[in-house]
């Protein structure tokens, strides 16, 4: 977490496969299988609704399950896919935010449940390499082009009891404290559409909130030099966002809470002390 070492990230690579079946959210090529989305039934019906001459899959199992992974991973692979053929994703249910971001990012995916694809390109896009950095910045710039960013101290993105439970018992109290003491905006993404979300996050110098997918809204709009502060449950630690901040010349910090009831609590003063550690 303190840095001080060099990591070599993997290159982004594409692979061309021929004669591939997409059946109920899974890809099949000969005796190989790749699961992309949960099956709609225990034993899928083998049928073909569509035949694609040349396509490229940009979705991932993680992106189909977690919104944050979809926004910061799958959306980055979409330009790669659209350059290679028909951009393909699975026909899993999508929410209002997904459709809103697709509109603002000019994404026009082909959603398929069952298909036969004569030529299919799949991607290995895990390394936080230079090309991935450039694609993320291009995505951020495209989102911000729809609003008029003005610099402000930060945005506190609420999580509440949504998604996998990481209940910050004093979340609203902490958010209000940062609004009063630091001039932060408070955003509840579950009560806002994409234009409202991007407008609230645009220009923020710091993104704060419980570690989770909801923070990806703010990170997608965060510029170089900005900071991300995650509020960590005491029984679960994840630092996936640090890889993004390192890649995009941003700063990362965290505060670990103390157990309380079915969730945890974080001292507002400890949050302020941690914010003071970030560069101006």
pLDDT per residue as tens digits for the range 87-137: 999 998 888 899 999 999 999 999 999 999 999 999 999 999 999 999 999
In tens, the pLDDT along 199-237 reads 999 999 999 999 999 999 999 999 999 999 999 999 988
**Residue-wise over 138-155: b if at least 16 C-beta within 10 A, else e?**
ebbeebbeebebeebbbb
**44, pLDDT greater than 70:** no
Domains annotated for the chain, with CATH where assigned, are 13-143 (no CATH), 149-275 (3.40.50)
Task: Please indicate, yes or no, whether the overall pTM of this predicted structure exceeds 0.95.
Answer: no
In tens, the pLDDT along 146-184 reads 999 999 999 999 998 777 778 999 999 999 999 999 999
Q: Which of 91, 87, 129 lies closest to 109, judged by CA?
A: 87
- Can you tell me the distance from the alpha carbon of 223 to that of 140, in angstroms, rounded to the nearest whole number? 8
When pLDDT is cut at 50, 70 and 90, the band that residue 42 belongs to is low
- The per-residue pLDDT for 46 is 72
- The per-residue pLDDT for 220 is 97
When pLDDT is cut at 50, 70 and 90, the band that residue 196 belongs to is very high
- The per-residue pLDDT for 1 is 67
In tens, the pLDDT along 233-265 reads 999 888 889 999 999 999 999 999 999 988 999
3-state SS assignment for residue 121: strand
Q: Which residue has the higher pLDDT, 161 or 193?
A: 193
- The per-residue pLDDT for 160 is 83
**41, pLDDT greater than 70:** no
Which class for 197: exposed (0-12), middle (13-18), buried (19 or more C-beta within 10 A)? buried
Please state the rounded mean pLDDT for residues 25-42: 84
When pLDDT is cut at 50, 70 and 90, the band that residue 40 belongs to is low
Sequence-separated (6 or more) residues with CB below 8 Å from residue 30: none
């Amino acid at each position: 977490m303190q840095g001080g070492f060099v990591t070599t990230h993997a290159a982004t690579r594409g692979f061309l496969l021929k004669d591939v079946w997409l059946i109920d959210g899974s890809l099949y090529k000969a005796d190989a299988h790749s699961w992309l989305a949960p099956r709609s039934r225990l034993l899928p019906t083998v049928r073909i609704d569509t035949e694609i001459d040349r396509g490229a899959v940009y979705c991932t199992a993680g992106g189909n399950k977690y919104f944050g992974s979809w926004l910061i991973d799958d959306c980055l692979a979409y330009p790669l896919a659209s350059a290679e053929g028909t951009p393909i994703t699975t026909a899993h249910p999508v929410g209002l935010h997904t459709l809103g971001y697709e509109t603002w990012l000019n994404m026009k995916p082909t959603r398929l449940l069952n298909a036969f694809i004569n030529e299919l390109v799949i991607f290995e896009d895990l390394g936080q390499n230079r090309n991935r950095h450039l694609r993320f910045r291009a995505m951020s710039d495209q989102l911000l082009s729809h609003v008029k960013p003005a610099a402000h101290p930060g945005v506190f993105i609420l999580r509440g009891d949504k998604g996998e439970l990481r209940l910050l018992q004093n979340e609203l109290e902490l958010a209000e404290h940062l609004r009063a003491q630091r001039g932060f905006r408070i955003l509840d993404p579950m009560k806002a559409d994409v234009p409202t979300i991007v407008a609230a996050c645009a220009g923020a110098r710091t993104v704060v909130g419980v570690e989770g997918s909801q923070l990806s809204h703010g990170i997608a709009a965060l510029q170089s030099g900005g900071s991300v502060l995650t509020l960590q449950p005491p029984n679960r630690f994840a630092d996936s966002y640090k890889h993004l901040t390192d890649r995009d010349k941003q700063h990362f910090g965290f505060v670990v809470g103390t157990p309380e009831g079915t969730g945890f609590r974080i001292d507002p003063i400890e949050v302020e002390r941690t914010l003071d550690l970030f560069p101006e």
